[in-house]
Amino acid sequence: MKYKAIHDIKPRNDKAAKMFENPVLDRLTNSHASIPISMLTLFGLGFLYWGTTQSALNLGQYASLIIIGVLAWTLFEYLMHRYLYHMLPTNKFKGWFQYNMHGLHHEYPKDKSRLAMPPLAIIAIAFMFLYLFKLIIGDATYGFTPGFLFGYAGYLTVHFIVHAFQPPKNAFKVLWVNHGIHHYKDPDVAFGVSSPLWDHVFRTLPKKKSK
């Protein structure tokens, strides 16, 4: 199979996206977004409670670390989306990874069962982040990791609603507009899904049409 770069993939309206020919394996890659969102939220709350038994962090430290963790997620989301999910398929492995992790979503943007990682992957990701951050920042991870996971859950929530519902008539409409442009007009802009913050910082916001 010859893999295409993201900007060469044309969106399709059907929902029959398949990652594996084996029906059992393929079924494991499907999930309603509410499941991983709930899991990430529960893991975050669980890690916070675990932290009260493992560290001496106070309430103010927890609050600060949670906010920092959410902000860190938005940057991680942006960088991962721009540089990992949209990398050029210059070899077979990069092509396979890029297509199965993200290109498939660009080809089938209306397939709501592929808007989030499946439950088994969420379990592995949550604990990977916990232990990775524990090695790097020690006990601060019990506040930072929940914030990071809450940010991830927020991203999945936004990603689901912008694909599943019509845009509202308020300030949040920009999230629908930017993501629609990313999918249907210019995949090389609007990499922030849950927030346009880093698109502002790195100047990858969609260009406004002159009147």
Domain ranges in the chain are 22-163
3 touches 89 (CB < 8 A): yes
Q: How confident is the model over 26-63, as pLDDT tens digits? A: 676 778 899 999 999 999 999 999 999 999 999 999 99
What's the pLDDT at 210?
44
pLDDT category of residue 17 using cuts at 50, 70 and 90: low
Alpha carbon distance 82, 76 (integer Å): 10
Residue 211 in this model has a pLDDT that exceeds 70: no
The b-or-e profile of 90-127 (16+ CB within 10 A means b, else e) is eeeeebebbbeebbbbbbbbebbebbbbbeeebeebbe
Alpha carbon distance 176, 163 (integer Å): 8
Q: How confident is the model over 89-142, as pLDDT tens digits? A: 889 888 888 888 888 889 888 888 877 888 888 999 999 999 999 999 999 999
The mean pLDDT value of the chain amounts to: 90
pLDDT category of residue 209 using cuts at 50, 70 and 90: low
What's the pLDDT at 31?
83
Residue type present at position 22: N
Q: Is 176 helix (H, G, I), strand (E, B) or coil?
A: helix
Where is average pLDDT lowest: 74-83, 91-100, 108-117, 182-191?
A: 108-117
Nearest to 192 by CA among 140, 154, 166: 154
Residue 23 in this model has a pLDDT that exceeds 80: no
Alpha carbon distance 11, 110 (integer Å): 9
What's the pLDDT at 107?
87
What's the pLDDT at 111?
82
Give the Cα-Cα-Cα angle 117, 191, 74 (nearest 5 degrees). 70
Percent of the chain with pLDDT over 90: 63
8-state DSSP, 33: T
